[in-house]
Amino acid sequence: MGQANNNQRFRRRVVFLVGLLLVVLTSCGFGLRTLSNNAIQPFVLPGATDVVVTRQNLRSQIVVYRTDLPSITWRDQLAHQLARDDWRSRDYNFGYTKRFSVSWYRRTTTIGPITIQESAIIGGDPNDPQIVIVRLERDVTFPTWEW
């Protein structure tokens, strides 16, 4: 009788621990999805249409959308919008006519021992200046301990 009670307690503990593990993993999944969706919000201008988000892998996304603003205006608005969120930028110009330029944004966030490095390359379509193309990448690094 005592052995049967011990087996039953053990099974209950195992079921409880497996259930708890599933709840934690599900919560982490929802958290990562929310974090991923929130990551693109600063890069989408108000009034954007035809927004398409493509995930290339776990750390990379491409966002393409249309805006009614001229290229110089949407670039300026994005720069101000991202500066509020501590993004730093550098611009690159291609071609002799300055017809095509790309802005590279970078931000580093530290949460305890974890470092999140984000980078975004923002450009437009050279044939349609009202198309905005954003490539967003995120790297998460954990500290390494030496024993």
Using one digit for the tens of pLDDT, what is the confidence trace for 46-80? 888 999 999 888 889 999 999 998 888 898 899 89
Start-to-end CA span in the chain (Å): 48
Residues 136-147, mean pLDDT to the nearest whole number: 78
Helix, strand or coil, per DSSP, at residue 96: coil
- Sorted by where each starts, the structural domains of the chain and their CATH numbers stand as 2-141 (3.30.310)
Sign of CA dihedral 111, 113, 114, 115: positive
Give the pLDDT confidence score for residue 132 in this predicted structure.
92
pLDDT at site 10: 82
**Strands of the 60-66 sheet, one edge to the other:** 49-57, 60-66, 128-141, 114-125, 100-111, 88-94
Give me the torsion for CA of 127, 82, 35, 134, rounded to 10°: 10
Give residue-wise pLDDT tens across range 77-127. 998 988 888 888 876 666 555 556 778 899 888 888 888 899 999 988 888
Amino acid found at 97: T
Q: How many CA atoms lie within 13 A of 114 on its CB side?
A: 5
Spatial contact of 104 and 89, defined as CB atoms under 8 Å apart: yes
Q: Report the pLDDT value the prediction gives residue 8, as an integer from 0 to 100.
A: 85
3-state secondary structure of 53: strand
